[in-house]
Amino acid sequence: MQPFQVISDSLNIRSAPIVDEVNLIASLPKGYIVSKIKHSDNHKWWKVATILEGKTLEGFVAQKFLSPVTKFSIKTVLKIAEMQIFQANGESAFFYKAGMSINADGAPNAYHPADKGI
């Protein structure tokens, strides 16, 4: 499934490819990421999937309000001491970069009486 992002201020996702008050599922904010599933019979509408507030949604959107995602825009949302907390544009998850240490104590090739090993 190809990712796209919302380029209008908001975009309604609907249960059918027609504008009607009764088929509104949710409204997606600008920059939100959706995955295209297929064209509808009317090529102005696409069936898409996304996750909103922890729920997987599938529905129809007007394709003219979507743009292909070629690269995620990453922003720093919080800084705690020297640790930066990041978020990808249109996503609800957060992430950070962490270091990693490896302690080889106890490995058979970590130490050697003749000072050989790694």
Residue 36 belongs to domain with CATH number? 2.30.30.40
- Are the beta carbons of 60 and 46 closer than 8 angstroms? yes
Residue 101 counted as domain residue: no
Residue 56 counted as domain residue: yes
Model confidence band, residue 108 (pLDDT cutoffs 50, 70, 90): low
H-type alpha helices, the chain: none
Reduced to 3 states (helix: H, G, I; strand: E, B; else coil), residue 63 is: helix
Model confidence band, residue 12 (pLDDT cutoffs 50, 70, 90): very high
Domain count, the chain: 1
Tokens for 24, please give them. 């509104």
pLDDT at 24 over 90: yes
pLDDT at 86 over 80: yes
Residue 16 counted as domain residue: yes
Residue 20 counted as domain residue: yes
Please tell me whether the overall predicted TM-score, pTM, comes out greater than 0.75 for this model: no
Q: What is the domain extent for residue 57?
A: 2-68
